[in-house]
Amino acid sequence: MLIKLPKSSDCNESDVTPESVYFSRRSVLGASLAGFALGALPVLGQAAEASRYADVEAGSTPGWFKDKLGATRWQAVTVKDEAITPFKDATHYNNFYEFGPDKGDPAANAGSLKTEPWSVVVHGEVGKPGRYALEDFVKPLQLEERIYRLRCVEAWSMVIPWLGFPLSEVLKQVEPTSKARYVRFETLQDPKSMPGQRSGFALIDWPYVEGLRLDEAMNPLAILAVGMYGRELPNQNGAPLRLVVPWKYGFKSIKSIVRISLVAEQPKTTWQGLAPNEYGFYANVNPQVDHPRWSQARERRLPSGLFNPNVRTTQMFNGYEEEVASLYSGLDLRKNY
């Protein structure tokens, strides 16, 4: 599969001090990245690549992940001239309400999540339904590094180097039937290991549910991630398997997935169900359509502090307009927020 790296993915703003991490990567790959096609990318050694992420804590690295990591296609998609968010921020400023409502709760509490063994049920309008052990689920897939902006609906953002594979590859393998029009995802429900599910936080009707239209799910930018920063996913970031949809607000990128269903009707999703006037099914990043309680025109890019809030302009579709705008031609994005 060949994905072109469109120019609009690149951000040319130079108002952010690049992290040392970012510079060392650039010096490895040099200028040869400009305008490349995926297939032309050099495959670098695992050690060289992983060492770029100097501030990353070692994980437990399950065996199936180690096997995959060696053949990773590094930098399959990247953002130009934007610093990668430090690992510490990406793993200590989280939304994962199953582990509590505050940004620090997931890092403090997600250690109780047991991610091995893990299985994923694929069912509904598919030719090949089944329950797959995670290691079997990932076996036919090649890991790719995708460096994406993540824009939360709360108006903060990060740049995260994910490791994952295109969702389309998984969907093709399970053979959606002609009735399949949407994909529905479900997070693990386990009040024993997820304290937020015991307290019934914010009236969420667990499990957390998200969904995409099938054509959105087939877009090459939509991935299922199993890692970040050259290692497996930390629990607080949605281990062992999460969705990443970079042109949509972060709440679409559902964590710790146990069920993927191909369905005919638009799924009822968690945040839309909680506050339908504030959170829509589409949730495309759109600086022109404000949240009822705050503007979406700008965002705080982490790390962001009192003296340097690091504010930047929010881009249409989070900077992925060229790749995804055609999915929404003829759709009123004000009504379908």
How far is 207 from 255, CA to CA, in rounded Å? 11
Distance, first Cα to last Cα, the chain: 31
Nearest distance from residue 209's CB to ligand MTE, in Å? 9
Q: Does 251 bind Mo ion (CB under 5 A)?
A: yes
Q: Are strands 144-151 and 209-213 parallel, antiparallel or unpaired?
A: unpaired
- 97 binding ligand MTE? (CB under 6 A): yes
Residue in 235, 253, 272, 284 binding ligand MTE, rule: CB under 6 A: 253
Q: Which of 5, 122, 150, 223 binds ligand MTE (CB under 6 A)?
A: 150
- Do residues 78 and 149 lie in contact, with contact meaning Cβ atoms separated by under 8 Å? no
Q: How far is the CB of 250 from ligand MTE (least distance, A)?
A: 3
Closest by Cα among 248, 327, 241 to 286? 248
Q: Is 187 annotated as a binding residue?
A: yes
The answer, yes or no, to whether the previous bond of 207 is cis (omega within 30 of 0) is yes
Among 41, 143, 152, 324, contact with Mo ion (rule: CB under 5 A): 152
Map tokens 């990567």 to a residue: 25
Torsion region of 266: left, alpha or beta (phi above 0 gives left; psi -120 to 50 gives alpha): beta
Q: Which does 255 bind (CB under 5 to 8 A by kind): Mo ion, ligand MTE, none?
A: ligand MTE
Q: Is position 106 an interface residue for Mo ion (rule: CB under 5 A)?
A: no
CB-CB neighbours of 328 under 10 Å:
16
Query: Is residue 254 within the footprint of ligand MTE (CB under 6 A)?
Result: yes
Q: Cβ closer to Mo ion: 95 or 219? A: 95
Q: Please name which of 146, 140, 95 lies closest in space to residue 256, comparing C-alpha atoms.
A: 95
Give how many residues touch Mo ion by CB under 5 A: 4
**Cβ-based nearer residue to Mo ion, 15 or 278:** 278
- What radius of gyration, in Å, describes the C-alpha atoms of the chain? 19
Site string for ligand MTE, 196-235 (x = CB under 6 A): ------------x---------------------------
**Which two structure tokens, joined as six digits, stand for 10?**
């690149």
Q: How far is the CB of 47 from ligand MTE (least distance, A)?
A: 25
Site residues (CB under 6 A) for ligand MTE? 94-98, 150, 152, 187, 208, 237-238, 250-251, 253-256
